[in-house]
Amino acid sequence: MARTSKSPAKRRPAPARKKRPIKRRPAATKPRRDPLDDFIVAAARALDLPAKRPWLPAIKANLRVTLQHANVVAEFRLPDDAEPAPVFRA
């Protein structure tokens, strides 16, 4: 039997619904890894240094400060023929 569809005219209009805010799942975000952390782990491995996990924050803080100082020096442009201070004398 064919089903007879209800006439759309007879349908009651749906009551106005309150719009709900769309809930979105938070996108799965990976915590951003500081490249310095990777550098420290890799450098410790390459140098065979025992950088234990509890020591890493202090090592990183010290390395960051030293690199900041190094960058201050690097920003100062010197001529290509600038000699380093210790010069070997034969």
Partner 1 sequence: MSHPFDPTWATAGEIARAVASGETTASSVIDATLARIAKVDRTLNAFTEVTSARARARAQAVDKARAAGEPLGPLAGVPFGVKNLFDIAGVTTLAGSKINRANPAAERDSPLIERLEAAGAVLVGALNMGEYAYDFTGENIHDGPSRNPHDTSRMTGGSSGGSGGAVAGGLVPLSLGSDTNGSIRVPASLCGLFGLKPTYGRLPRNGSFPFVDSLDHLGPLARSAGDLALAYDAMQGHDPADAACLDRPLEPVSPQLDTGIDGLRIAVAGGHFQQGAFPEALAALDRVADALRARQEVEIPQAARARAAAYVITAAEGATLHLERLRQQADDFDPAVRDRLIAGAMIPAAHVLAAQKFRRWYQAELCNLFESVDAIIAPATPCTAPKIGQQTFVLEGVEMPVRANLGIYTQPISFIGLPVVCVPVPLTPLPIGVQIIARPWREDIALRVAHALERDRVAFAPRPRSSRANPAKK
Closest by CA position to 65, among listed 36, 85, 31? 36
Residues that bind partner 1 (CB under 8 A): 39-40, 43-44, 47-52, 55, 58-60, 62-63, 65-70, 72-74, 76, 78, 82-86
The residue (of 1 and 78) whose beta carbon lies closer to partner 1 is: 78
Least Å from the CB of residue 90 to partner 1? 13
Residue 13 gets which letter from DSSP?
P
> Phi/psi class of residue 48: alpha, beta or left (left: φ > 0; alpha: ψ in -120 to 50)?
left
Which CB sits closer to partner 1, 28 or 90?
90
